[in-house]
Structure 1
C-alpha cells in the first residue's frame, strides 16, 4: 500500500455526533408548512428529513402542487437552522476522539452530503476550521442532490483541491464506502454507536473503531 498523502473525512457521524431522527422529522414537518402544506403527513416528513433523492422530492412536490425548488429551499433553510441551534446548544458536538486529528501532518479535508454552511458553522464553533485545508459539501440547491455520495463527485473535488494522489477517506455509511470505491480511493469505515453492527455490501479498505485507529493507518 502506497503512503497516504491526504486524509478526507465525512462530517456527520465521523467528526460530529448525529442529530436525532425525530428532531429532523419535526423540522421537515415545519418545512412542509413553510412551503404551503397545511396538514403535512408524518410519512412526507420522513421522506424529506434525510437521504432525499431528486425523484422523491419532485414526487412529493407534485403531490402538493409545489415547485420542487421552493419545497427544497424551505427544507434546507429549516434543517440549517435546526443544526445550527443544535451545534450552539452542544447537542451536536465533536466526538471525543476527534482530538487525534490535531496532530495529523498531511493535508486534511471534509467531504459531506450536509450543507456547506452547516459544516463551516460547526468547524468554526468548535475551533476546528484551521485543521482542514478544504471543505467540499452541498449548496442548498436542488441540483446538489445529484452530486451527493454515493456519487464520487465530492471526494474527487476534495482530492483535486488538496492536490493529493492517494488520499484515505473516512466515512460511517455504506454510501461513503461506495463513493470512495467509485472515486478510486481507499476508505476506512468508522464504526460508532449508531453503525456498530452495520453490514456492508461493498467491503471497505479498512474497518476501524476510532479516529485514533485512522491516524495509525497514516
Structure 2
C-alpha cells in the first residue's frame, strides 16, 4: 500500500463549512449594483456563483455592458467580506473533526479555490496555522479563474513547498479528485452532508464520511497493513 509523506486539504467543505450559495449570490448582486447593473438575470448570477469561467465572465459583462476588471474587483471584495461576516457571526464555522489533522505525522498543506486572503483569515480565525506548513488560495484577479482546480497549478506549488514524494489530496468535489489525479496524487473524497448525494464521474482513491477516517487511511499506508 502507498506510503504518503504529504497530505493536502481543500478548505471549504473540508476544514470549514462551505459558503451558502445565497450569501454568495447576495454579494454578487451587490457587486453588480455597485458597477451599475441592477437588473441582472438570475441565471447570470447563478453562473458567477457556481464556478464562473473566464469565458462566461466576459460574456456576462459584455451582455450587461460592464468593464470586467471593475466588476470582478467589486465581486471578489464583497464576496470575501460576506464570508468574513458569516464566520464572525457564527453562521459558518469549522468542522469538529479537523482536530484529527494534528495527529498526522505527514507534512500538511491547504489548497483551495477560495481567495488566498480568505484562507489566511480561516487559518488565523480558527487557530489552524500550526497544522499546516503551506497554503494556497487564488489571487482575487480575473486571471486566477484559469488556475482554479481542476487545474493543478496551486497543488503543484504546495507539493514543491513540501518536497512531496507521495501525496494525498482531501476534497469534497469532483474537481478536487480530478486535480489530484492530474497532479499525480491519490485522492480522498469526503462525503459530508452538503455532498452526500453527489454522483462522481471519476473514482477517488478513497471515499470517507469524515476526517476521522483519514487517520486510518494514513496509518495503514505507513504500516503496510
TM-score scaled by length of structure 1: 0.96
Cα shift at 1:112 = 0.3
Please, what is the CA RMSD of the aligned residues? 1.1
1:146-168 per-residue CA deviation (whole Å, 9 max, x = no partner) reads: 00001111111111111111111
Q: How does 1:1-218 map to 2 (within 5 A)?
A: 1-218=1-218
Q: Deviations over 1:62-119 (max 9, x none)?
A: 1122221111111100100000111111222111111111211211000100001111
Runs (4+) off by over 3 Å: none
SS at match of 1:214: helix
SS in 2 for 1:51: coil
Alpha-carbon separation, structure 2, partners of 1:91 and 1:102? 25
Q: CA deviation at 1:178?
A: 0.6
CA distance in 1, matches of 2:8, 2:129: 14
Kept after mapping to 1: 8 A contact 2:119/2:136? no
Which ranges of structure 1 fall in alignment gaps of 5 or more residues?
none
State the shift of 1:41 in Å: 2.9
Determine the C-alpha separation between the residues in 1 that align with 2:207 and 2:43.
Answer: 34
